[in-house]
Amino acid sequence: MKGLNYKLILIIIYLACSARTCTEDEESNARKEENYISNLKNDLKEVFTSDSLSEQFLRAYEITASDMLNDFADYLKIISDTNLDPEFRQHSAVMVRNLFISDKIKLSGLSNNYPESALYTLDRLLDHILSEGMPVWFKPVQIIVTAPFAAENDSTFIGNLSCKLECQALSSKGTSEILPDIITVDIYLVKRYQYFGDNHIKIWEAYLGDIN
């Protein structure tokens, strides 16, 4: 998928730097490497757990949220295709839920464009397309940040994205069109506990919210 989650970056760097190498002066190099890894972990921890966020950091997470909106559309395309493996579709549904701040999300801005009615919550939408599939999917286009992240409290920032939807037929022979309505997407930056092996720390993560 298009989005690069900062937590994933943290894990990859940590694992890459944790690999041991064999040298002639093994003890000395091991000690240097241990110090390097310790310093790197402290630097990364400071970035991702800091209580004070720079404007650059907030802008980076707004880009992450935009990528997550694209990921949401890509996952829905997979779930909508009943020709794909059911386990693959079910896993994509789990990934969709992980993109959102909660399970109580309202999707009226998206669901109003589906041929089926009453798909106005995330649960209803996923249950329906997992069971019945869907002949179309909606790709977000012209995504912009309409409200930059602003502090709600010491562990939550809230903002908004807006975009149009390009309706595409699931069939390769189908047509596509950009719908005229502009939808808004609530976005969140929240500090939550995450587990890394035996350790758990609070880190900042972006989430999607209601789509109106």
Phi and psi torsions of 149, nearest 5°: -55, 130
Phi-psi region of 197 (alpha: psi -120 to 50; beta: other; left: phi over 0): left
Judged on CB neighbours under 10 Å (0-12, 13-18, 19+), 5 is middle
Per-residue pLDDT at 51:
63
Q: Please compute the mean of the pLDDT values over residues 39-61 and round it to a whole number.
A: 71
Q: What is the pLDDT of residues 52-78, one digit of tens each?
A: 688 999 999 999 999 999 999 999 999
Q: Best-predicted range by mean pLDDT among 6-20, 45-59, 75-89, 167-181?
A: 75-89
How many angstroms from the chain centroid is the CA of residue 99? 4
Amino acid at 60: A
pTM comes to 0.76
- Mean of the per-residue pLDDT values for the chain? 83
